[in-house]
Structure formats: structure tokens, C-alpha cells
Amino acid sequence: MEPPPRARRLWHPRSLRDPPRLDPDLRPGPPTPRLALLINPFYRKDPHASFGKHVLTPTLALTSVAASTPPGWTVSCWDENLLQGPPPWLPFPEVVGITVHLTFAKRAFELARWYRERGAKVVLGGLHVLSCPEECAPHADALAVGEGVQLWGRILRDVEAGALQPRYEGSYLAPYRDDPAPRRDLLPRGQFLTTTSLIATRGCHNRCAFCYLATEGLHMPYMLRDPEQVAREMEEDGQPYAVFTDNNLGSRPEYLRRLCRALRPLEKIWSAAVSIDVTDDPALVREMALAGCTGVFVGFESLSPENIAGSGKRSPRPEDYARRVALLHSNGIQVNGSFVLGFDGDGPEVFERTVAWIEANRLECATFHILTPYPGTPLFEQMEREGRLLHRDWSLYDTAHVVFRPRRMAPEELARGYAGCYERLFSHRSIWRRRPEDPAAVLPYLGMSYLYKRSNRLWYWLIRLGLTHAVWRPLVEWTRLRHLRFRRRLVARPGEARRRAPAVVSAGV
């Protein structure tokens, strides 16, 4: 599917492409004892997708680690992706913790070098440290390999004692419910649609060959937090909308049922990532709706059974996807479908077939990813063994660039098809084709679609000026009230409610 010429000239301002400049001449003075700074480095934004998805909800990586800071230390967090400039340096921190992921490893190393040259102790953690510790070690005073929440307090106490070790290892075997609640008080609330990002479960029952959870050395057993603990955390943050950032909230259906019953009295709305087999039990889908679920992110991955089987994913057969999407819709739950392009079974026809299916089944949103072999995964090993990797520039391993040689098309063809999928999905025609069947729901659906998907210039200024929350909050609150009315109909007259399921504003679901 060849994209129109304008798809090659997308608006992409420098501050969304390049990280903020670090002043090489700045000399801030000696580090301040017991002052720690946690940094989420800048990563390049994909101009084909919505810039808004980067500020829907904050990552929990930094705030969760911050919660384990020992008494006597002061800690702050800085996210370079909020377009507020480089991280702060006055007062200058004694310890800087930087999360390192594949696509922004280069930026993380630049930050580490800048702070180390000026006297700070730098600790690197994150998935890239786990998968490529030998690459990360020269850039740090210490590596936190594995679960950082367990290690952060120990690291800071060793800094106090002058006994910092070069490597600390944490496991994911400790009970997840024992972790402290994230330090949301450290977040700039105005710069996110909601600060209530939550994790109720850790791990996933699938182990797809292309997923980061399949990284060698990452042993993450499936763990659960008490539903009441999660509900209390959601209520205490005081937001009308929450986002579960679990890999798969529906891996244990009975747990999800208990969680929904704990969330229902709060009368809030939320979205989560689930696998499509959550629809095996229609009663569970209804429980989700009654608990406030307005949107799900579903990793369909592919419409080809061969691709699904080849990736090692356990999933219902793709020919049954449509029925399952209809079940979610009938309960007022929007669907953001995630699709991976470039499997060995994919030829040039995959782009048209995928987008046509999305339109036919009226998915409110979709996210496309170019198949990407992350280091340490079975897919990476396969591609390396077959000599199909094009390079090792990790900054391009972001699922928006082709980094390997596809089997049934040229790399350039895959890149064009990926861009074309987004171009068509965000077009006026496709947005209209996917409108809800209920006429009363069309207007709110169009408002959400245009604000989220076709407003990148607006998103840029909302992010720069810290207005994301102010602009979205009224729309989210209106959605919550609308969904409460829908829930009452679902309880009183289930058949009628299903015929008139609302179009809810669940940005990016």
C-alpha cells in the first residue's frame, strides 16, 4: 500500500527528533550530599503516530524506584520527553540513576558521561542493562541488573558508606505486593492526561519470540498484587481515569474478576492491555465494563495463523477475532489493536489486508509496529544466525524502522507499507468508516479521534506548555459520567445497554 506523497513530509519538529543539548562548559560545583536524581532519557518520536501517546500517563519505572529511597536522602525525577529541556543540575546531585532502554541507550550514555565528568555517581538500570551489561558497564559507576526497586536503597546506602559496588543484581522473585507505592507526588501532574498509571500484575502467560519479556536472563514469574491494594492506590491518586500498564492484565481471569469487583465501587474509568482471549468468558467482559473499563489495548499481532504460531504466542484463531471485538464493543469497551508488520509470512498484501480488517470491525484505534528483533530475544538470535540484521544502531530498534531483511519483501517496501497504514488509519475517510453504529455515540468518537490522532501540532504545544491535563480533564470527566450512565443501563436492562454502548473517550486506550 503506497502512501500518498505527503506521508513522506510529515511535520516533525526538532525537539521531538533530537534530545536537548547538554552544555559542555557548565561547571555546577561539588555534588550535594544525599541528593539523588532519576532520569528518563529522551527518545525520538515517531511522526507517523500520535505525539499524544507519550504523555497519556507516566512511566512507573522512576516513581517506583524513587519510592524505595532511604530516609535522609532527597530524590527527584526528570523526564526529558516532556520537552522541558535537559535534566536539572542545580543543586548538583550526588547520585544520578538513569533508566536505559534499547532505543535511547545512546542518549542515556551521553547523560551518564555529562554527570560523571562533573562528579556525580551514575547508576544505570533498565532492560538494556539486563540484556547488554557489558555495553553499559563502561558508562556507569554501578549497574542495577534486574529489579531496581529492591536495589536502589542498597545502592544509596553504599554510596553513603563509600562502598559503591560496580554491579548489583535483583530478582523478580520477591512478592510484588510488598513493593512500596510509586512516588506520584514527584510527577508534574499538569503534563499528563492522568498520573494514575498502575501495575496490578507482573509478567505474562505468553512468551512471544519478539517480545522483550523473552529476553535472555529476564526471569519474571507472573505475580499479583492484592486487588484491594490496587483499588486503594487508584482512589488515593484522585484522578477520574487510570491506565494499567501491565503486560497483560487478563492473564489470570479469576484474578481480573476479583480486581474488577474491588474497582467497581470507585466509579472511575480505566484502560488496560489484555490478550484477546479475555473474551473467552463474556461474563468477565461484563465485569470489566461494570468496573469502569472503557478501553483495552489488544496485541492481535497478525491476522495470519501461521505468523501467530511461528511467534510462539498462544492466542485464539484470527478468524474469531471479529466476534471477540464485537463482544468488547457491546459492553462499551473500545479496542486499540496492536499489529506487527514484517513477519516471515507477510508479503506486500499484509498492509491492505490489515487496515481493511480494522475498518471492517470498527476498531477505534490501532497501533502498528515493524517487527523488531530486540537483543537477547529468540528473534534476535534467529535473525543474527540467518544474517538478516541490517545494523546494530539501537536508536532505530524502535518498531518504527526496518532493521532486518524481511523474507517476502524489500526493507523499503516494509517501511513504506508501515507509513501507509498510519496514513490511512488517520485519514478522514478511515475515521468515518470506523464510527460507532449508535448515532448518539458518533460525535464523541469523532472528537476523540481528531484530538488524539490528527492533532500532532496541537499536542506539541500542549506538551511544551504543560497543558495536557488541563485540556483533557473535562473530556475525561464527561466520559466518566457518560460511562456511569451506561453501567446503570447494563445492570438494569442488559440487552438495551449492549445495543447502545457509548463511545467513550479513552485516549489511546
CB atoms within 10 A of CB 56: 21
Q: For residue 202, what pLDDT is reported? A: 82
Both 331 and 472 in one domain: the answer is yes
Has residue 178 been placed in a domain?
no
Structural domain total, the chain: 2
Has residue 177 been placed in a domain?
no
**pLDDT of 318-377, one tens digit each?**
999 999 999 999 999 999 999 999 999 999 999 999 999 999 999 999 999 999 999 888
Contact 191, 169 (CB under 8 A): no
Has residue 175 been placed in a domain?
no
**pLDDT of 40-83, one tens digit each?**
999 999 999 999 988 999 989 899 999 999 999 999 999 999 99
Looking at this protein, which amino acid is placed at residue 68? S
Burial of 393 per CB tally in 10 Å (0-12, 13-18, 19+)? exposed
Looking at this protein, which amino acid is placed at residue 387? G
- The domain boundary residue, chosen from 169, 198, 225: 169
Both 279 and 333 in one domain: the answer is yes
Q: What is the CATH number of the domain that holds 408?
A: 3.80.30.20
Structure-block grid coordinates of residue 161: 558508606
Both 205 and 131 in one domain: the answer is no
d(CA 75, CA 93): 9
Q: Which residues contact 340 (CB under 8 A, 6 or more apart)?
A: 210, 301, 302, 368, 369, 370, 371, 399
Contact 52, 464 (CB under 8 A): no
Q: Are strands 293-301 and 269-274 parallel, antiparallel or unpaired?
A: parallel
Torsion of CA 436, 442, 447, 449, to 10 degrees: 20
Both 251 and 120 in one domain: the answer is no
Residue-wise burial string across 5-43, b where 16 or more C-beta atoms lie within 10 A, e elsewhere: eebeeeebeeebeebeeeeeeeebeebeebbbbbbbbbb
Contact 256, 290 (CB under 8 A): no
- Residues of the chain with pLDDT > 70, as a percent, come to 92
- The domain boundary residue, chosen from 169, 199, 227: 169
Structure-block grid coordinates of residue 82: 516532556
CB atoms within 10 A of CB 238: 11
Q: What is the CATH number of the domain that holds 151?
A: 3.40.50.2300
Both 196 and 164 in one domain: the answer is no
Place of cell 559542555: 24
d(CA 408, CA 64): 43
Q: For residue 220, what pLDDT is reported? A: 62
DSSP 165: -
Looking at this protein, which amino acid is placed at residue 282? P
The beta strands (E) that lie in 183-280 are given as 197-198, 201-202, 223-224, 241-244, 269-274
Both 448 and 338 in one domain: the answer is yes
Both 192 and 156 in one domain: the answer is no
Q: Is the dihedral of CA 285, 288, 294, 298 positive or negative?
A: negative
Structure-block grid coordinates of residue 105: 541507550
Report CA 475 to chain centroid distance, whole Å: 22
Has residue 158 been placed in a domain?
yes
Closest CA to 401 of 45, 83, 100, 14: 45
Burial of 75 per CB tally in 10 Å (0-12, 13-18, 19+)? buried
Both 330 and 443 in one domain: the answer is yes
Both 152 and 212 in one domain: the answer is no
Q: For residue 314, what pLDDT is reported? A: 82
Closest CA to 384 of 414, 363, 404: 404
Closest CA to 415 of 380, 369, 360: 369
Contact 82, 463 (CB under 8 A): yes
Has residue 504 been placed in a domain?
no
Q: For residue 59, what pLDDT is reported? A: 87
Read off φ and ψ for residue 419, nearest 5 degrees: -60, -40
Alpha helical stretches, state H, 181-245: 227-237
Q: For residue 240, what pLDDT is reported? A: 96
Low-confidence ranges of the chain (pLDDT < 50): 1-7, 497-509
Looking at this protein, which amino acid is placed at residue 358? I
Has residue 182 been placed in a domain?
no
Has residue 176 been placed in a domain?
no
Domain span holding position 461: 188-498
Has residue 122 been placed in a domain?
yes
- Torsion-angle region of 487 (φ positive above 0: left; ψ -120 to 50: alpha; else: beta): alpha
Prediction pTM value: 0.90
Both 199 and 154 in one domain: the answer is no
